[in-house]
Every structure is written in C-alpha cells, then in structure tokens.
Structure 1
C-alpha cells in the first residue's frame, strides 16, 4: 500500500502521539503539530525526514493556514488531516466563567474549523483526502459536569456532518471518531477545572467513577482502528472507539425515541395542517 501523508494536530501526547508513532512505524509520513515541538524531538531522531514537527496553536487562524501550506509544500500534498487538538473543561454550567467557556469553544470548535477550512483547497486540488475529526461519545450522549465540553463536541458533530455532504463531490471523505473514556491525560493534567460550588460535589463524585481503572480504555490499542479507518476506501461518517461507547449510545437513542414517540400527537398538532 502506498504511504500516506498524515497531519495530526495535538500530536505531542495522548492519542495524537500514539497515532503519529503508529503511522511512522508502518512507513507513512507525518506532520506532527504541537504548541511545544521539543516534545517531538524523539520522533525526529527516530524517523528523520518522515516526520515534520510544526509549532501550532489552533486558536490562531492564520497560523493554521500557514501550517497547511508548509506541510503541503514539504511533502507535496496531504492525504489525511486528523483534528485531534483539544482539551476537557470540567465543571458545572453554573461554575463556568465566561473566559473558561470561550477558551473551550475557541480551541475545540474554532481550532478545528480553521484547520478544516485550510485543508479543503489542498484536498480539492488533489481530488482526494480524508478529514478525521476527533469528537467523543459525549458528542452524542452528554454528561453532567462537562457541559461546555459536551457543547463543543456537539458543535463539531453538526459541523462535520454538514461538511461531509459539502465536500464529498471533491473526493474528500469526512469521519467523526467518538471515543469513550481512555486512560490518557485528558482528564488529568491537561484538563481545566472550574472553581467548585459545593452544591455539585455529589454529582462530580459520581462522574469520577467513570474514569476509574477498568472503565477507561487502553489508548495504545486504538492505533489499529485508526489505521484501518485511514486505509478504508469507504470510511464511515462516524466511528465509536471503546467497548462502552456503543451500549451507551444505543441507550441514549432508545430513550430519545421513546420520549419523542410519547409526545408525537402534540408534535404533529403543532404543525397546524
């Protein structure tokens, strides 16, 4: 199989780092972006010119376009963009400050939007490409105490579903990857936590059980799924990752359908004719 050029945002650690190494090990070329590219020095030492480390803050729209241009010129094209950069904001809605909310949406939604806008002309010129948006099962099934994070992923889902319909005619595929909880630093040092209000202590304690060992997946075992997604001739619009994801989504959708159905007479009557 011909090697591909993969651009991964947020490649310094976590899933992005694991996937970057998996692509490089099998002979692909990787554009690895990070806010601090010193964290990528070992990849460069091991894989040489097959990896292009690039400093990137996805909140800077001009920088996003510059990175795409640089990667395109360096490798002569970009086959896959994996929009992985992002972080979690933990806290109840009432606790969240304006700045915390704006920062979360700025990175998780607008950062992804800028990179997506920048890559489309490149992939359209090539007549092929694959944009992979790293969402979450929380982009389908919201949970308490992660409300703004949930909102950012729901926004990503809607944006990406529309995008898929818009760019399919250019030969560009779009996939939304929806992991359940994995044992990365996402809920640890890389997370932002709001100033607590005691009224929400009990619900936060309940949520902590979701991240206990045994509930979270092994990040290292996600690589084969991502490789298979990238290699697929007809990749899915959505791909769940983790053994808990599907059962949770099935229950959420069953509950939604049941409620909608129980109110259908009211809904239909509201139409007016």
Structure 2
C-alpha cells in the first residue's frame, strides 16, 4: 500500500505539532515535520533545498498533503502606528513563505492522486469580514491576506488540486495567547486538541467541491474572504 505523505511547516509546537501527532498515529503514513530557524526564518531557498534533500536522501517521490502552518504575529498596531519594516517582516514570513513553500513542493504534489495544499489562515486577514474581527493587527492581517489570495488562486490554477485556507480559531498557542493578553484576556478560547480535529476532518473529507477555494473555519463553517 502506498504511504500517504504529509508535509507540515511550523511543526515543532502549537497547531503544527498537534496536526503531526494525529497523522503520525495512522498506519501507512509519513509525516515530514518542517521547523523554521527563528534566527533565519525568511529564506527563499530553504524550501527548495529541503525538498531536494527529501528526494535524494529519503526517497520521497510524492507529497499528498502540504500544510503551510508556519507564521508569526509579533505586533498589534493600528494602521496609523504601524511600522512599515514590521509589516515587511510579517509579509516575509506569512506571505512570501507559503509561496516559496508551494513552488518547492509543487512537482511532488503533482504526483499525488489527491494533491492537497492547505494554508493556516486567519479572519484577521479577511477583507469582507473585517468588521467581525475589529482588532489591531495592521502587520499580521495584510500578511495573512496574501496567504489567502495565494491559496485560493492555487485552486483555480490547478483543476486537480484541493486547495483551501483553514481558520484555526482563537487557539491557545503561544501566538494565540499573546494576542489574547494584548486584548486584555487571560488566554485564547480553543485548545489545540479541539481545533486540530476539525482541521484534520476538512483535510480528510474535503474535496474541491466541498472545501476548495474556501476560508474554512475549524468547526466546519465558512468565513468571508
């Protein structure tokens, strides 16, 4: 039986680690857990080099599911207080990073019988639903909007791909709890264990027709772009 192969970025903690643990518990499954170097998280060449290593040293000949999970949220400014260099830093990781990743994995995804590309997004990057999340996020929000556009465009460019964005909710990761505390809350609302089950369900059961090109919330609902 052919192994199902997953590649997850940002897999050392939080959502990425939770997803990896679920997939690793399955038979006939290979999980490639990618971890970014905090000292150099903006490399445009690392994804390509990593994929070459997977092919040459580990015999990986295809990828079935790629989850672009790595991201940063380190600023809670309003637009009039936003530092452009801070915005650029968020765009490098949250916006450009998934592009570098997708371009590197594209040839291996094309060899899958159900190529699936998932971006971990956020309602804070929504334009149509901005009024539903009125929080200061002038660096993080635009950077996630880039991710949303790219993942949705992938769907329309590849008629065989299942490509969608998933919203993990207000989850109790380091990033989520920092955002909660910035808003005066003790911690975020959902546990990692709670939300990863919903994300996995969308990946397992999702088709182009049911989840493709959507901003899909972890609980199965949709959020406006």
Q: TM-score, normalised by structure 2?
A: 0.81
* Residue of structure 1 in register with 2:45 after alignment: 62
Unaligned runs of 5+ in 2: none
CA distance in 2, matches of 1:19, 1:164: 22
Supply the distance in 2 between the matched residues of 1:9 and 1:153 (Cα, whole angstroms): 16
Deviations 1:131-180 (A, max 9, x none): 00110122223333112211111222122211110012xx2210110222
Cα deviation, 1:27-77, whole Å, max 9, x if unaligned, reads 3211111135xxxxxxxxxxxxxxxxxx99552111111112223442332
Q: Is 1:150–2:123 an aligned residue pair?
A: no
- Residue 201 (structure 2) aligns with: 228
- 1:34 and 1:56 in contact (8 A); partners too: no
Name the structure where helix makes up a greater proportion of residues: 1
Q: Which has the larger radius of gyration?
A: 1
- Offset of residue 105 of structure 1: 0.4
Aligned counterpart in structure 2 of residue 216 of structure 1, from 189, 201, 208: 189
1:84 to 62, 69, 94: 69
Following superposition, the deviation at residue 233 of structure 1 comes to 5.6
How much does 1:224 deviate? Answer: 2.2
CA contact 1:71–1:77 (8 Å) conserved in 2:
no
- In structure 2, the residue matched to 1:180 is 169
After superposition, residues 89-128 of structure 1 pair within 5 angstroms as 89-126=75-112, 128=114
Cα distance in 1 between the residues matched to 2:111 and 2:200 = 24
The equivalences for 1:1-273 within 5 A come to: 3-27=3-27, 28-35=29-36, 59-73=42-56, 74=58, 75-88=60-73, 89-126=75-112, 128-140=114-126, 141-142=129-130, 143-168=134-159, 171-188=160-177, 208-209=183-184, 211-213=185-187, 216-232=189-205, 234-235=207-208, 236-237=211-212, 238=214, 239-242=216-219, 249=223
C-alpha separation between the residues in 2 aligned to 1:72 and 1:167?
Answer: 23
Contact 2:177–2:186 (8 Å) recurs in 1? no
- What is the alpha-carbon distance in structure 2 between the residues aligned to residue 99 and residue 56 of structure 1? 17
Question: RMSD across aligned C-alpha pairs, in angstroms?
Answer: 2.9
Distance 1:233 1:188, change over 3 A: closer
> Quick one: structure 1 residues 100 and 110, their matched pair in 2 at CA, closer, same or farther if it must change by over 3 Å?
same
Give the length in aligned residue pairs.
212
